[in-house]
């Protein structure tokens, strides 16, 4: 494959989307389901709520009995009962009657609305005057209004959020079928690298990418495993890759993806299985020399050695696989919109991702201030709140122009 016969980001994602990573299923207790991805649709077998219930403290009534009620001409009804919280409202509300009812209480049969207690006045122990009419269904949650029996409430591929746990609890689901998290092996290549706990002799730098990528994998819901620093040597890298592929679903290799004579990553990948390297090079800044590959059903990504580039490309290509999202779709859903504070040049024909700090302008507008610095400077990622996307069809942006910003 010719190096740097580059694809656009969207083309790279579409190429990868044709290959599926096999994922196993497991069933976990509901309280362990947060941030896990459903493997099957969830269908409710119950209605929620299972009865008509009040949303206010007040009186359950028949709406037709108090039509036209006003402060100057109250509608008078007899108090015939009281709903006790947590108990069935046994009995029937007859015409001209009302039952006292608390918030969340079950409406008695015959009632179709609730009058707030603020719009009532006590005439005697058995009679109240109602000073405001209500419509049928007012201040009431109907049976099945929240969830209907037989309804698919959550679909396969959905990542469970706190509110989803509440919904599942409401319908009595206490165990959920979820995808097993992807196991992700992380390698850093380069003879110039040393471990963070070692002294740094001249010509060496500490390994940054293994730790940054470890955090990104964990944040995305994957199970990261570090394989340490690997020499820029074909056999050494291949042996480590063979072990990592046997133990993981995805491999991230940082460094060794450019066109230098000692960068052997692409050649190693092509010896490990089919189909091998799918593309080598993307029309993107930072991250041009990135590699996307599939090896016998497992994803392999060769990420640039510069920390900023590696982290940006991870978010574009690897994260969607880990999160079990549609990698062929939008680059990132629901970005923030912000106004760029200065002119920024960009070459047409490539997607640029510019680190930015966000702040509020005097008029409340969200402003994006570029964080300047080379892609080898990890401190620029720490200072930034996210990256602004400059699409490939633009030659930069001018100060005052709106941009999409993806938060870290």
CB count, 10 Å around CB of 29?
A: 9
Q: What is the pLDDT of residue 260?
A: 60
Angstrom distance (rounded) from CA 401 to CA 343: 9
Q: What is the pLDDT of residue 125?
A: 87
Mean pLDDT of 55-71: 97
Q: What is the pLDDT of residue 1?
A: 43
Q: What is the CATH number of domain 336-407?
A: 2.40.340.10
List the beta bridge partners of residue 111.
none
382 token code pair: 């720490």
With respect to CATH, is domain 53-141 assigned 2.170.190.11?
yes
2 token code pair: 């010719």
CB count, 10 Å around CB of 68?
A: 7
What would the pLDDT profile of 83-95 be if each residue is shown by its tens digit?
A: 999 999 999 999 9
Residue 330 has pLDDT above 80, yes or no: no
193 token code pair: 């690298």
Kindly state the percentage of the chain with pLDDT values over 70.
96
What would the pLDDT profile of 357-399 be if each residue is shown by its tens digit?
A: 999 999 999 999 999 999 999 999 999 999 999 999 888 899 9
What is the DSSP track for 4-16? T--B-HHHHHHHH
Kindly state the percentage of the chain with pLDDT values over 90.
87
Average pLDDT value for the chain: 93
Q: What is the pLDDT of residue 301?
A: 97
Q: What is the pLDDT of residue 259?
A: 60
Residue 257 has pLDDT above 70, yes or no: no
Q: What is the pLDDT of residue 261?
A: 47
301 token code pair: 């990504």
Residue 4 has pLDDT above 60, yes or no: no
Q: Do domains 53-141 and 336-407 have the same CATH topology?
A: no
What would the pLDDT profile of 158-203 be if each residue is shown by its tens digit?
A: 999 999 999 999 999 999 999 999 999 999 998 899 999 999 999 9
What are the structural domain ranges in the chain?
Answer: 9-24+181-323, 30-48+146-179, 53-141, 336-407
Q: Which CATH class is domain 30-48+146-179?
A: alpha beta
Q: What is the pLDDT of residue 2?
A: 45
What would the pLDDT profile of 95-146 be if each residue is shown by its tens digit?
A: 999 999 999 999 999 999 999 999 999 999 899 999 999 999 999 999 999 9
Q: What is the pLDDT of residue 258?
A: 67
Nearest to 370 by CA among 345, 336, 351, 350: 345
9-24+181-323, CATH topology level: Molybdenum Cofactor Biosythetic Enzyme; Chain A (3.40.980)
Angstrom distance (rounded) from CA 74 to CA 64: 14
Any long-range contacts for 209-212 (C-beta under 8 Å, 24+ apart)? 209/254, 209/255, 209/303, 209/305, 209/307, 209/310, 210/186, 210/254, 212/307, 212/310, 212/311, 212/378, 212/381
């Amino acid at each position: 494959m010719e190096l740097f016969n580059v694809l656009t980001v969207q083309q790279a994602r579409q190429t990868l989307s044709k290959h599926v990573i096999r994922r196993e299923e497991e069933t976990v207790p509901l309280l362990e389901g947060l941030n896990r991805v459903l493997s099957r649709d969830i269908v409710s077998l119950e209605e929620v709520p299972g009865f008509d219930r009040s949303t206010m403290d007040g009186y359950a009534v028949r709406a037709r009995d108090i039509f036209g009620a006003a402060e100057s001409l109250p509608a008078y009804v007899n108090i015939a009962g009281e709903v006790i919280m947590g108990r069935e409202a046994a009995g029937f509300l007859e015409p001209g009657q009302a039952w006292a009812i608390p918030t969340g209480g079950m409406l008695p049969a015959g009632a179709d609305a609730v009058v707030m207690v603020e719009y009532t006045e006590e005439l005697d122990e058995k009679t109240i005057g109602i000073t405001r009419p209500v419509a049928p269904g007012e201040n009431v949650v109907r049976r099945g209004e929240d969830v209907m029996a037989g309804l698919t409430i959550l679909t396969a591929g959905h990542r469970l959020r706190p509110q989803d746990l509440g919904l599942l609890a409401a319908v009595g689901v206490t165990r959920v079928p979820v995808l097993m998290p992807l196991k992700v092996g992380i390698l850093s290549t380069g003879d110039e690298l040393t471990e963070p706990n070692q002294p740094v002799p001249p010509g060496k730098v500490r390994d940054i990418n293994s730790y940054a990528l470890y955090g990104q994998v964990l944040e995305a819901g994957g199970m990261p495993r570090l394989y340490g620093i690997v020499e820029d040597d074909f056999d050494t890298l291949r042996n480590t890759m063979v072990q990592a592929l046997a133990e993981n679903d995805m491999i991230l290799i940082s460094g060794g993806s450019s066109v230098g004579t000692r960068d052997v990553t692409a050649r190693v990948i092509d010896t490990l299985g089919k189909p091998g390297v799918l593309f080598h090079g993307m029309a993107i800044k930072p991250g041009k020399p990135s590699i996307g590959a599939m090896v016998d059903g497992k994803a392999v990504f060769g990420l640039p050695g510069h920390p900023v580039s590696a982290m940006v490309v991870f978010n574009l290509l690897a994260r969607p696989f880990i999160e079990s999202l549609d990698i062929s779709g939008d680059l990132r859903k629901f970005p923030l919109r912000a106004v760029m504070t200065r002119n920024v040049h960009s070459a047409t024909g490539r997607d640029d991702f510019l680190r930015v700090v966000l702040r509020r302008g005097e008029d409340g507008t969200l402003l994006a201030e570029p964080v300047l610095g080379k892609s080898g400077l990890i401190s620029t990622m720490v200072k930034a709140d996210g990256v602004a996307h400059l699409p490939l069809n633009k030659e930069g942006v001018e100060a005052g122009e709106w941009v999409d910003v993806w938060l870290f």
